[in-house]
A and B are shown apart, each in its own frame.
Chain A
């Protein structure tokens, strides 16, 4: 068959690690690439382009090359070269830190669904990679990302499941991109192993969990907050994690941006714990003129896990910069070299992974207070339930009850000190939850005052009258 296309094969011998790899040599079905003959000053023997005319443009080598050393371009039609959109881009070195960005949406009021606002927040935060598997009530995030990422020069992939989705996001992050995935309870369970891997390898990424009523597949389209504990304790070994809890469409947007900033700042997976209410709720929200963004430091040649500080966050070199990186979920030293039987390395690493978050609680903890000045009792609420709770607090105050409210916007690391202070200042803490009592247990741990749970597990938004009844009843009573 006559060939009507020709391809140029470029191989950057400075990037190729040669005989350690030769994936391209083995993968090329036409023998275009071959083992090298020249030995470089680094002691490597990079592959060489032996028979470029035989190239059919299948791009298998280009796709597989872990060092982005190979570029295939269509020389027969100059205009049809693969655009930069959707192609891997080598990350450039940067010292990281805060910058001001113009954002992605038109400034001003917008009306949309919480899931859509979450996706827009991600785009505004500079998310350039999304891998996911659709699941109610988080699918709309994926749908919007599938449209928006190609428009903004990012990459969208639908994976075979949530395990692979999480893995792909970690990989993208190590190529220097900001990556995200979104799911609901059953998929969140599947992601747990790789979330632990992201914690251990200090990989910044954002995981959105739009909670639905479980256990198991439960009620696909109904809300609950059953994954609070799972967000922190679902992965094994014990990790510090950051989790944020939005209560509105506005916060689905704002806190998604914040989740990216925190993940870049501390090199951790950050979990956005929405639920089917804030995910599917439609309301208007406001988009600011600019967005403040934090970017990780990318230092070529720096040890990717190296910091002498007890609570330090090391810079993060990326693949695609000629880096030869070792990344492992096993215990490792500053260069990523496995040290699986060294008690000192293990202790130092585990302590730092925790300290880098716990020592920066001030930067992470976020909450709002309502009617706290004269409060004798405080409602502690979070997520969509906080909207029912605030409604109830207002009604109770109309009846003369001196009740205030503390709304958590970040739930992990748990702001125990804040809870302790309000516990000391009040006679009772009341925690309404759409589960059988998860945050109420945490509140109990940190407060010496009596703590009451107002629980609802019927797969509906917390009935505000249930909370009002409790507040007006004034007695400690567990709702059914």
Chain B
């Protein structure tokens, strides 16, 4: 059985929930089973939020993330909160613009900075940083198909779709370089 647990975390407003929905839609398109468990505070912006994704070939019983294969930290708060609970097997992606990585954690072995905000700004839409992170997730797991992500992202308004696809592709590239595959 192929299965991936993905934990996305950041601050309310950074597009964590949207990213989780797009990721799930792409995986659904590719014929996988997905569950997305969102979690957020009552405040609309600024609280620590997370989205737990389980991607699998089989029926998903427990929809939460217990041992993430991939963790994406969109903000320092999210990074600091979740990093201590991760095992050394988790691939950690963080936005180098907003996160100062911790080297002392034993779980910090597989950490990959992704200049998501910079990539998004270069693509023409700073808000697409979350899409750059999705590209990194696609690079790290073969359960997440890059072409399906592109298909989902292309559905929006033309200009936005273009910047989103571009940011995602660049994030994918940056991750691939570091993952060495």
Contact = CB atoms under 8 A, between A and B. Distances in A.
A is bound by B: yes
A136 B37 contact: no
Given A282-B24, A394-B61, A220 B42 contact: yes
Determine which residue in B39, B41, B66 has the highest number of CB atoms from chain A within 10 A of its CB, and name it.
Answer: B39
B127 interface: no
Contacts of A280: 37-38
B78 interface: no
Nearest to B33: A284
B152 to A, nearest CB: 11
Given A111-B28, A280-B38, A464 B63 contact: no
Contacts of B60: 283
B120 interface: no
A461 interface: yes
B150 interface: no
B35 A390 contact: no
A460 B40 CA distance: 11
A281 B36 contact: yes
B66 A464 contact: yes
A387 B63 contact: yes
Contact of A464 (B21, B39, B62): B62
Interface in B8-54: 20-21, 24-25, 28, 33-42
Interface in A129-154: 136
A112 to B, nearest CB: 10
Interface in A431-480: 460-461, 464-465
Interface string A109-124: 1010000000000000
Given A136-B42, A387-B63, A284 B34 contact: yes
A151 B125 CA distance: 35
B64 interface: yes
Given A390-B61, A391-B62, A464-B66, A284 B39 contact: no
A221 interface: yes
Instruction: Say what secondary structure dominates the interface of chain A.
Output: mixed
A388 interface: yes
Given A277-B63, A391-B61, A221 B42 contact: yes
Contact of A281 (B35, B40, B41, B61): B35
Determine which residue in B41, B42, B64, B66 has the highest number of CB atoms from chain A within 10 A of its CB, and name it.
Answer: B64
A156 to B, nearest CB: 24
Instruction: Say what secondary structure dominates the interface of chain B.
Output: mixed
Interface string A387-426: 1101100100000000000000000000000000000000
A299 B76 CA distance: 66
A97 to B, nearest CB: 35
Nearest to B42: A220
Nearest to A109: B28
B64 A461 contact: yes
B62 A284 contact: no
A92 B45 CA distance: 50
Determine which residue in B21, B37, B66 has the highest number of CB atoms from chain A within 10 A of its CB, and name it.
Answer: B37
A388 B54 CA distance: 14
A391 B54 CA distance: 14
A388 B61 CA distance: 7
Contacts of B62: 387-388, 390-391, 464
A283 B64 contact: no
Contacts of A283: 33-36, 60, 63
Contact of B37 (A219, A221, A277, A284): A277
A460 B21 CA distance: 20
Determine which residue in A222, A283, A461 has the highest number of CB atoms from chain B within 10 A of its CB, and name it.
Answer: A283
B76 to A, nearest CB: 23
B145 to A, nearest CB: 16
A329 to B, nearest CB: 35
Given A283-B63, A284-B34, A391-B62, A111 B24 contact: yes
B65 to A, nearest CB: 10
**7 nearest CB pairs, A to B:** A391-B62, A220-B42, A282-B36, A283-B35, A111-B28, A391-B61, A464-B62
28 contacts: A111-B24, A111-B25, A111-B34, A136-B42, A219-B42, A221-B40, A221-B41, A277-B63, A280-B37, A280-B38, A281-B37, A282-B21, A282-B24, A282-B34, A282-B36, A283-B34, A283-B63, A284-B34, A387-B63, A388-B62, A388-B64, A390-B61, A390-B62, A391-B62, A394-B61, A460-B39, A464-B62, A465-B66
